[in-house]
A and B are shown apart, each in its own frame.
Chain A
Amino acid sequence: DGGITQSPKYLFRKEGQNVTLSCEQNLNHDAMYWYRQDPGQGLRLIYYSQIVNDFQKGDIAEGYSVSREKKESFPLTVTSAQKNPTAFYLCASGGWDSNQPQHFGDGTRLSIL
């Protein structure tokens, strides 16, 4: 079945450590997105990519990095510079037709040890 796969489902980070969240899609979508969700807040855009080898900062990109080497994959690295990384991270993808909805993965919950 087509969809978006995020892994791991739960992740723990130690102080000063970088961690990478995986996102893979087989929907043949050109665009991919990373969002962060905190309690009581809406989804906030971290990074997005319209096409392979290109990506743009979203509203809260500081302390995060991404790569888009393949159409299917858009990993997110939470660096040690992100001082408050505890959150629910959601990856999404969408086609060029902007009237079509974005499709979301099941999310990764990141916590600090």
Chain B
Amino acid sequence: GQNIDQPTEMTATEGAIVQINCTYQTSGFNGLFWYQQHAGEAPTFLSYNVLDGLEEKGRFSSFLSRSKGYSYLLLKELQMKDSASYLCAVKWNTGFQKLVFGTGTRLLVSP
């Protein structure tokens, strides 16, 4: 199957660092996206990884290990507005950009 696993919920404190993990089946893997979604709103794109390593974008970074079927999203200097769900989505070699989404990790940032 094309299972994707993420923790359901995480909590952290304003100003702290949090790491959200995502694991997936490696066979046929062809890229991984991270999206942020505030409640009742559209998901917005955060990052894309297809090669091993770390991609940094300001306070957000995303890491990928293809051989381990593992990615994480790292959020630094947490702000209250970072309270949202974070969706991991994987693209497999289907010949077309069809994504499979994890259930999402709900992050609650407290003062």
CB neighbours (8 Å) of B101 from chain A are: 35, 42-44
Take A40-B103, A42-B102 as given contacts and tell me if A98 and B97 are in contact as well, using a CB distance cutoff of 8 Å: yes
* Interface pair A107/B40, CB less than 8 Å apart: yes
* Interface pair B48/A102, CB less than 8 Å apart: no
Q: How many residues of B contact A (CB 8 A)?
A: 26
CB neighbours (8 Å) of B43 from chain A are: 43, 90, 104
Partner of A107, one of B8, B42, B99: B42
Take A42-B102, A50-B96 as given contacts and tell me if A98 and B87 are in contact as well, using a CB distance cutoff of 8 Å: no
Q: Is A41 an interface residue (CB 8 A)?
A: yes
Closest to A48 in B: B98
Q: Which residues in B have some Cβ–Cβ distance to A below 8 Å?
A: 4, 8, 30-31, 33, 35, 40-45, 48, 50, 87, 89, 91, 96-104
Can you report 18 A-B residue pairs in the complex whose CB atoms are below 8 A from each other? A31-B96, A40-B8, A40-B103, A41-B103, A42-B4, A42-B104, A43-B87, A43-B89, A48-B96, A94-B97, A99-B31, A99-B48, A99-B50, A102-B33, A103-B45, A104-B43, A104-B44, A107-B41
Q: Which residues in A have some Cβ–Cβ distance to B below 8 Å?
A: 31, 35, 40-45, 48, 50, 58, 88, 90, 94, 98-99, 101-107, 109
